Every structure is written in structure tokens, then in C-alpha cells.
């Protein structure tokens, strides 16, 4: 099958991923997303440009590297912090702090950091480079697994995603596309022959509220779901349930009814309870997390929501 060795930019490749489609999978995470969900647990996925992350626990102090990161910063955005103890030791060190207002994103400090406490979120790659990495995991795919291309929004780098799908399809590998549904319909039509399953997010059924929560309306997302279902695609719908934002009885019912409308295309509906796992990532990037007062929904609430989907005879689970 002909493909182009298209360039792309990604921020992670994770092996042994068991939550991104059927079986054991390896997931490729692309950078860039048109949505800005308030609860996003991967903020490093949102922007297309590479970003500076900082893990203070890995910093052993500016003295160890002779102020390498401080010297490397052309904007003076990195300075010594107040002395603090190294974890598990009595030794006091001066770690660093970042003035994000001064940071230009040149990432020279990350290149200079010997402990990688300063790091670059994202890197440039190509279809062939990613394919070579994925083939190292091919033995794990034999019992129903495969590759998932996620994000961010993988359709936002359509040329890269399409050609990676073509190359993987030619090798007989099961392919999942994890998508928000917010991309041109024609692109879904073009990539559909190379994708075995679409992991399709539904955030809110009301377009006004959808835009408030994610930054974009939902008409295109719903239309694309109908298009895929009508044209024979397989869908695994994923509904992130965020307390007080999209978990009203009305929205739960509307989401279930929409999934029912899609018919046999829906192989599974997954209800995803909100979790706090991504909060520390915001700190690493110097971002403010806006849902500090939101707590995960109780199990009893999730079970009641599940019953709404079961009542419509939809295949469903709490994930």
C-alpha cells in the first residue's frame, strides 16, 4: 500500500496500553487539539508547539550542574529557588524556579539539564520512525491488540495520521483512532478504510454547554458520529462524566439516546468517571488547573448512570 513518510509531532508513545481499545496496545500520542476541555488530563497534548516542563523532584540543585540551565536561558527566566531538602536526605540544595512570563519557549534550558528535570514536552518524528518503534511491540498484538493513535486530536495532524494508518494497515495491525470528532467530515471518510475502530468522545449533547466546557460547539462532532455510523464504521463511544459539568440527568439521557440512534455501529459505550490524575501535569507546565474543587463521582452515581444506557439495551461499562 502506498504511503507518504509524513512528518508529525508527538509527545509520547506508551506500550502495554490496556485502556485504549481492545487487547494489549501501544498508543501514539500526537500533539495539538482544537478542544480545550476543562478537565483535560493531558495538558501537554493541547498545543501544537513544544513546551517546557519541570519536575522539581528530579532537580538535584543548581550547584550540581554549575547553573547550566540558568546560563542557557537567554531571557533570564530561570533562577535559583530557596534552599530545600533533597527527598530522603538531609542535604539542602538550591533548586531552580521558572518565571513563565519571561520564558520564550526556546527550550535551551531543557537541552542543558543533566537530570532532565527540565524537559521538552513533544518531539518531531515521521511515519517511518514511529512505525519502527511500534514494530518492537508487535508480539503483544497477537491476541486482539494493536495500535491506537490518540492525542491531543490525532485528526489535527491528518497527513501524519492517515499515512501511519496506511503503513500499519499494510502490516495487518489492528488500528484504533481516538478522536474528539472535531475534524472535517471528508477526512473521516478518507481515513475510515484504514481504521478498525473509532474511540469516539461525547462530552455534552447541548452545543452551548459543549462550547463552554471545551471551547468548540458540538454540531460537527455529532454529525461526524452519524456519518461514521451510517457508512459502516465501528464506534466505541466514551463519555467522560464530570460532576456538575456534564453529569445532569438530562445530559445522561440525551447521550444514551444519541448512542442508541447510531445503531449497531456502537460496539461499546464507556462511562469514564472524572479523576484527578492529570492535575500535577499542569504544575509541570506552569498552567493553572481550573477544576480544583471537583471530586470524582461516587460509584453509586456511576452505577445509576450506567442503568440509563442499559435500559436502552446499549453495550456499556464503567471504565
Q: Give the separation between CA 280 and CA 286, rounded to whole angstroms.
A: 10
192: preceding bond cis by omega (within 30 degrees): no
Q: Give the separation between CA 184 and CA 188, rounded to whole angstroms.
A: 7
**Would residue 99 count as lying in a domain?**
yes
In 10 A of CB 250, how many CB atoms?
A: 9
Which of 120, 140, 164 delimits the end of a domain?
120
CATH code of the domain containing 107: 3.30.70.3270
Q: Are residues 227 and 79 in the same domain?
A: no
Q: Are residues 29 and 41 in the same domain?
A: yes
Q: Are residues 220 and 188 in the same domain?
A: yes
**Would residue 1 count as lying in a domain?**
no
**Would residue 230 count as lying in a domain?**
yes
What integer pLDDT is reported at residue 4 of this predicted model? 98
In 10 A of CB 230, how many CB atoms?
A: 11
Predicted confidence band of residue 87 (pLDDT cuts 50, 70, 90) = confident
Q: Are residues 62 and 206 in the same domain?
A: no
Q: Are residues 188 and 174 in the same domain?
A: yes
CATH code of the domain containing 292: 3.20.20.70
Q: Are residues 147 and 279 in the same domain?
A: yes
Q: What 3-state class would DSSP assign to 202?
A: coil
Query: Using one digit for the tens of pLDDT, what is the confidence trace for 222-277?
Result: 999 999 999 999 999 999 999 999 999 999 999 999 999 999 999 999 999 999 98
Which of 105, 120, 135 delimits the end of a domain?
120
What integer pLDDT is reported at residue 88 of this predicted model? 76
Q: Give the separation between CA 161 and CA 191, rounded to whole angstroms.
A: 9
With a cut of 90, say whether residue 86 has pLDDT above it. Answer: no
**Would residue 267 count as lying in a domain?**
yes
With a cut of 80, say whether residue 179 has pLDDT above it. Answer: yes
Which of 85, 120, 155 delimits the end of a domain?
120
Q: Are residues 107 and 213 in the same domain?
A: no
In 10 A of CB 197, how many CB atoms?
A: 20
What's the total number of domains in the chain? Answer: 2
Q: Is the pTM of this model over 0.85?
A: yes
Q: Give the separation between CA 5 and CA 27, rounded to whole angstroms.
A: 19
**Would residue 182 count as lying in a domain?**
yes
Q: CA Rg, the chain, in Å?
A: 22
Query: Using one digit for the tens of pLDDT, what is the confidence trace for 276-305?
Result: 988 999 999 999 999 999 999 999 999 999
Q: Are residues 209 and 289 in the same domain?
A: yes
**Would residue 140 count as lying in a domain?**
yes
Joined together, the cell numbers standing for residue 279 give: 492535575
**Would residue 130 count as lying in a domain?**
yes
Query: Using one digit for the tens of pLDDT, what is the confidence trace for 120-150?
Result: 999 999 999 999 999 999 999 988 999 999 9
Q: Are residues 96 and 182 in the same domain?
A: no
Q: Are residues 260 and 312 in the same domain?
A: yes
Measured in whole angstroms, the distance separating CA 16 from the mean position of its chain's CA atoms is 16
Instruction: Provide the domain limits for residue 110.
Output: 55-120
**Would residue 2 count as lying in a domain?**
no
Amino acid at each position: 500500500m502506498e504511503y507518504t513518510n509524513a512528518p508529525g509531532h508527538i509527545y509520547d508513545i506508551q506500550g502495554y496500553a490496556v485502556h485504549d481499545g481492545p487487547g494489549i496496545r501501544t498508543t501514539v500520542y500526537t500533539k495539538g487539539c482544537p478542544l480545550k476541555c476543562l478537565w483535560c488530563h493531558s495538558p501537554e497534548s493541547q498545543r501544537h508547539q513544544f513546551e517546557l516542563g519541570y519536575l522539581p523532584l528530579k532537580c538535584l540543585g543548581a550547584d550540581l550542574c554549575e547553573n547550566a540551565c540558568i546560563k542557557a536561558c537567554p531571557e533570564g527566566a530561570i533562577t535559583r529557588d530557596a534552599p530545600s531538602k533533597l527527598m530522603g536526605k538531609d542535604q539542602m540544595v538550591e533548586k531552580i524556579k521558572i518565571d513563565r512570563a519571561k520564558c520564550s519557549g526556546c527550550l535551551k534550558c531543557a537541552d542543558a539539564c543533566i537530570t532532565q528535570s527540565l524537559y521538552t514536552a513533544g518531539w518531531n518524528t515521521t511515519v517511518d520512525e514511529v512505525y519502527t518503534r511500534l514494530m518492537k511491540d508487535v508480539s503483544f498484538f497477537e491476541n486482539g491488540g494493536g495500535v491506537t493513535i490518540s492525542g491531543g486530536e490525532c485528526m489535527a495532524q491528518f497527513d501524519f495520521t492517515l499515512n501511519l494508518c496506511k503503513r500499519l494497515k499494510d502490516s495487518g495491525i489492528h488500528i484504533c483512532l481516538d478522536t474528539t470528532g472535531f475534524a472535517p467530515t471528508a477526512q473521516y471518510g478518507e481515513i475510515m478504510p484504514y481504521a478498525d475502530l473509532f474511540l469516539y468522545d461525547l462530552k455534552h449533547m447541548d452545543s452551548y454547554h459543549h462550547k463552554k466546557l471545551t471551547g468548540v460547539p458540538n454540531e460537527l462532532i455529532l454529525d461526524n458520529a452519524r456519518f461514521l455510523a451510517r457508512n459502516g464504521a465501528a464506534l466505541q463511544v466514551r463519555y467522560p462524566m464530570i460532576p456538575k459539568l456534564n453529569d445532569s440527568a438530562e445530559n445522561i439521557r440525551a447521550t444514551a439516546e444519541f448512542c442508541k440512534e447510531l445503531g449497531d455501529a456502537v460496539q461499546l459505550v464507556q462511562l469514564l468517571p472524572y479523576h484527578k490524575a492529570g492535575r500535577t501535569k499542569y504544575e509541570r507546565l506552569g498552567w493553572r488547573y481550573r477544576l480544583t474543587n471537583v471530586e470524582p463521582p461516587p460509584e453509586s452515581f456511576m452505577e445509576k448512570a450506567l442503568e440509563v444506557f442499559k435500559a436502552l439495551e446499549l453495550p456499556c461499562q464503567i471504565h
